[in-house]
Amino acid sequence: MASETPILLVALDVPLAKHFDFLCKDASSDDIGRLVVVPFSGKQVVGIAVGVAHSSEVPSEKLRAVDLVQRATPPLASDILALVRFCERYYHAPFGQIAINIVPPLLRIAARQLKPPRATKPRRKTATTASAAVAFTAPTLNTDQQMAFDAISGALGSYSAWLLEGITGSGKTEVYLHAIAATLARGQQALVLVPEINLTPQFMKHIVARFPAQVIVTQHSGMAAGARLVDWRLAESGAADIVVGTRLAIFTPMPKLGLIVVDEEHDASFKQQEGVRYSARDVAVFRASTIGCPIVLGSATPAIETLDNVTRGRFKRLALTQRAVAAATLPRVEFIHLDSEKAPDGLTATLLAAIDATIKRGEQAMVFINRRGYAPALVCAACGWMPECRRCSARMVFHRGINKLRCHHCGAETKPPKACADCHETTFHPAGQGTERIEAALREALPTARIARVDRDATRRKGSAAAIFDATSAGALDILVGTQMLAKGHDFPNITLVGVVNADGAVFSADFRAAERMAQQLMQVAGRAGRSALPGRVLVQTRHADHPVYQALQAHDYARFVSAALVERQLMQLPPFTYLALLRAEAKQADKVNQFMRDAQHAAQRLSQSHAQADAVRVWEPVASTLERKAGYTRRQLMLQSPRRTALQTLLTALIAELRVSDNRSVKWVIDVDPIDV
Ligand code: ADP
Ligand code: ZN
Ligand code: ZN
């Protein structure tokens, strides 16, 4: 129906793939990308204007007026809107849901209060005293670094994608810094994505120290709302030269963006695991290609998909083959065979003796165990019963420090049971090890050692991880015990020994990507040893020293692991030989989600058969998710697999349209394209 008043088309944060029409008498195409506030379901909600029209299918008496068009702040830039469109198409998530959630929370809050957001004073990030040790001047690049830098800097100004593959300590950061300097010299901005900002304080210090006169801002979810907005605006106005952030930073508006760097590109944290399940790395490649700038993906252990992109000629590979510090060599990797040596409390006498000798020499050691808490289970000494979470299909993890059982999936906490639920006996034993137990065992065996634990529990307080890493650099600690938080990019020259405890479980997990992830983590952790003139050593406690993951680790040959993994993937027709998508669904009642999944499976089969043979998508049986029950919900997943991405995407589009029509309110579902845990 034609309308005299212009109609503003608004995308909302709702799970519906459509926009909504509202009257807006002064609407114009300049409003596209602006935040708006509209009446919706009896509430005022924030949306994004996506278009202007002069007619609507909605009957005029039902059309409502917008409450506010936020013109006090700039609209989302058109290239960011294009990025959202890409995510909408590729990840099959509604435009509004993506667009609203990339905007800093304070902008949304201000809009909802029908106010312009209050400006806070801009801050400048300055080099802190702790970074006094960091060189302000750039070192001379070695041959490998120079070749990599020449390639990247020569490509500035148009799209190109580079894998910067360099063993740990080979000086990738230095290549980034040079490439950033070349970008800034052209008057452009640089965007650097890192896995977890709090784990890369050294990286921040390097950047701040190297570019003291430039405006450097950050974007990550842990920032105070005011600071996040200030930094966003500096980026958006072009005033910020460098943006460093976690995955969400890929959506930061940067009018002069000239270079994107994704550090530790293999890291799983680049994939958002809730809400819109995007991969920031893959979105970054798309962004670089549309705006026309180079993207550099850096890693010592690239994702198998990334290596496949090199093989297919989509990315070009730049290799750094030597440790940058001349005297630094790769650590020697040795195995402690758990078949022939006992490990009470998780640590063998051999590993303890090696740690002791290390700290007696005045050097430092690191112990890596990929599980936090004291013990992954408590066991009844009489009958073997183990307390489980009431809302998840998972055992409760024993945290001795707070004397509680905690569910690592839903966060539920209880007191340890007084008596066994099955046999009523009252003696329990902790089973297996976590970081807390290894820490306790180390304290008992080496009472004078200065030990710190690094895991999510121990570093919850802001800045506590940074404090531990500073203390390590300053030599105030002897031993670090921790999870994969230890693996990421730290550079501690005095760490000469790395112990690996309890990695076997992850190596043999059901998830086909588990071995790849463990190979990456172990190579990263091992890379913490021997980063200076002091020789490094890695001791791995295992029952399976012949597993390809450990063999590759020992030979410092990640490529060898990748070759072995690729043979297996090809045999089983897994990525990168095929493309995957998961339909994930959950409901409070199991029969509801079962019925939904059966219907979805049949719909997918019917849709897949209507395609030409070559485009066939394989529709699997719905199965229970790895964690079948979480927070009281029963969870199922349906895998769709195809050798052709377009065939998979076409089927997903059709399937989602059917699922949305069925509108089953008791079942929550989401599509996960390129899932990383299956
Ligand atoms: P990566 O990120 O590849 O693990 P880093 O960038 O942390 O490696 O570099 C490892 C160490 O080598 C750092 O201490 C860094 O300052 C130093 N370094 C890097 N490049 C050079 C160079 N060309 N000359 C001297 N030292 C270098
Ligand atoms: Zn019992
Ligand atoms: Zn739980």
Chain segment 208-252, per-residue pLDDT in tens: 999 999 999 999 998 999 999 999 999 999 999 999 999 999 999
Per-residue pLDDT tens over the stretch 322-347: 888 777 788 999 999 999 999 988 99
How far apart CA 485 and CA 459 sit, in angstroms, is 10
Query: pLDDT confidence of 351, banded at 50, 70, 90?
Result: very high
Span 295-324, mean pLDDT? 95
User: Does residue 472 line the site of ligand 1, with CB under 6 A?
Assistant: no
Q: Among 264, 296, 491, 534, name the best residue to mutate to test ligand 1's pocket (greatest count of ligand atoms within 8 A of Cβ).
A: 491
Confidence of residue 132 (pLDDT cuts 50, 70, 90): very low
The yes-or-no verdict on residue 395 having pLDDT over 60 is: yes
Query: Which residue bears the tokens 């390097």?
Result: 206
- Which of these, 579, 515, 581, 617, lies nearest to 305 by C-alpha position? 579
Q: Is the CB of 168 inside a 6 Å radius of any atom of ligand 1? A: yes
Q: What atom of ligand 1 comes closest to residue 167's alpha carbon? A: 3
Closest ligand 1 atom to residue 142 Cα is 23
Read off the pLDDT of residues 308-319 as tens digits, 9 standing for 90 and up: 999 999 999 999
CB atoms within 10 A of CB 324: 21
Structure tokens at 642: 């195809």
Residue 323 CB less than 6 A away from ligand 1: no
**Stretch among 13-27, 383-397, 432-446, 522-536 having the lowest mean pLDDT:** 522-536
Q: What is the mean pLDDT of residues 496-517?
A: 87
What amino acid is encoded at 11 in this protein? A
Q: Rounded to whole angstroms, how far apart are CA atoms 250 and 243? A: 10
Residue 647 dihedral angles phi and psi, to the nearest 5°: -60, -40
Query: Could you tell me the distance, in angstroms and rounded to a whole number, from the CA of residue 415 to the centre of ligand 2?
Result: 17
- Own/partner long-range contacts of 205-208 (Cβ < 8 Å, ≥24 apart): 205/127, 205/128, 205/130, 205/131, 205/134, 206/134, 206/173, 206/177, 207/177, 207/180, 207/242, 207/244, 208/125, 208/126, 208/127, 208/131
Residue type, 98: I
Distance CA 398, CA 416 (A): 8
More confidently predicted of 95 and 465: 95
Instruction: Label each residue of 602-650 as H, E or C.
Output: HHHHHHHHCCCHHHCCEECCCEEEEEEEECCEEEEEEEEEECCHHHHHH
**Ligand whose nearest atom lies closest to the CA of 176:** 1
- Of the candidates 162, 188, 125, 144, which has an alpha carbon nearest to the alpha carbon of residue 261? 162
Query: 205 versus 247: which is more confidently predicted?
Result: 247
Residue 512 confidence class, pLDDT cut points 50, 70, 90: confident
Element (H, E) at 296: strand 294-299
How far, in Å, are 202, 240, 632 from residue 125 at the CA level? 14, 11, 44
What pLDDT, on the 0 to 100 scale, is given for residue 545? 95
Cα of 376 from ligand 2 centre, angstroms:
17
Query: Residue 111 has what pLDDT?
Result: 81
Instruction: Supply the residue whose CA is at minimum distance from atom 6 of ligand 1.
Output: 171
Residues 560-565: what's their mean pLDDT?
A: 92
Residue 2, strand partner residues: 55
Residues 342 and 351 sit within 8 Å (Cβ to Cβ): no
SS (HEC) of 80-115 = HHHHHHHHHHHHCCCHHHHHHHHCCHHHHHHHHCCC
Cβ-Cβ contacts under 8 Å for 252 (sequence gap 6 or more):
191, 219, 232, 235, 236, 243, 245
User: What's the pLDDT score for residue 46?
Assistant: 94
Q: Are 541 and 522 in contact (CB under 8 A)?
A: no
- Between these two residues, 68 and 512, which has the higher pLDDT value? 68
pLDDT of residue 494: 92
DSSP letters, 377-416, are: EEEETTT----B-SSSSSBPEEETTTTEEE-TTT--EEPP
pLDDT band at 129 (very low <50, low <70, confident <90, very high): very low
What percentage of residues in the chain have a pLDDT greater than 70?
A: 95
Tokens (6 digits) for 493 = 């020259």
What is the pLDDT at residue 612?
61
CA–chain centroid gap for 251, Å, is 15
Quote the CA–CA distance of 553 and 566 in Å, as a whole number: 17
Query: What count of Cα atoms within 13 Å lies in the side-chain half-sphere of residue 563?
Result: 6
Cβ atoms of 70 and 116 closer than 8 Å: yes
Q: What is the model's pLDDT at position 134? A: 45
Taking alpha carbons only, the member of 487, 480, 483 closest to residue 526 is 487
Beta bridge partners of 424: none
Residue whose CA is at the smallest distance from ligand 1 atom 21: 324
In angstroms, the Cα distances linking 225 to 106, 115, 481, 553 are 6, 16, 33, 42
pLDDT at 156 over 70: yes
Angstrom distance (rounded) from CA 64 to CA 76: 24
Residue nearest to atom 5 of ligand 1 (CA): 171
Residue 614: per-residue pLDDT? 54
Say yes or no: CB of residue 141 within 6 Å of ligand 1.
yes
Most confidently modeled range among 124-133, 179-188, 192-201, 324-333: 179-188
Of 553, 56, 519, 148, which Cα lies nearest the Cα of 302? 519
- CA of 488: how far to CAs of 191, 235, 625, in Å? 19, 26, 29
Q: 489, 203 in Cβ contact below 8 A?
A: yes
The predicted pLDDT at position 127 comes to: 41
Q: Find the range with the poorest average confidence among 487-491, 554-558, 602-606.
A: 487-491
Question: Ligand 3 centre and the CA of 398: distance in Å?
Answer: 13
Q: Mean pLDDT across the stretch 19-36?
A: 95
Query: What is the amino acid identity at position 62?
Result: K
Asked if 143 and 299 touch (Cβ cutoff 8 Å), the reply is: no
- Alpha carbon 319 to its chain centroid, in Å, reads 24
Query: Is 280:287 a contact under the CB 8 Å cutoff?
Result: no
Q: How far is the CA of 197 from the centre of ligand 1 (A)?
A: 19
Closest CA relative to residue 468, chosen from 360, 459, 131? 459
Average pLDDT, the chain: 91
What does the longest C-alpha to C-alpha distance in the chain come to? 85
Nearest ligand for residue 406 CA: 3
**In the predicted structure, residue 11 carries a pLDDT above the cut 90:** yes
Ligand 1 and 530: CB distance under 6 A = no
Taking the CA of residue 202 as reference, the ligand 1 atom at the shortest distance is 7
Residue 481 above 90 pLDDT?
yes
What are the pLDDT digits (tens) for 625-672?
A: 988 999 999 999 999 999 999 999 999 999 999 998 876 789 999 999
Cis omega before residue 576 (within 30°)? yes
CA of 389 relative to ligand 2 center, distance in Å: 17
Dist CA 474 CA 476 (whole Å): 6
For residue 410, the ligand closest to its alpha carbon is: 3
pLDDT of residue 602: 96
Question: Quick check: CB of 298 below 6 Å from ligand 1?
Answer: no
473 lines ligand 1 (CB under 6 A): no
Q: Is the CB of 160 under 6 A from ligand 1?
A: no
**Interval 278-291 mean pLDDT:** 98
Beta-carbon contacts of residue 47 (< 8 Å; ≥ 6 apart): 10, 11, 12, 13, 20, 35, 36, 37, 38, 40, 96, 100
Query: pLDDT category, 489, cuts 50, 70, 90?
Result: low
CA distance 37 to 27: 13
The structure tokens listed for 608 are 């897949």
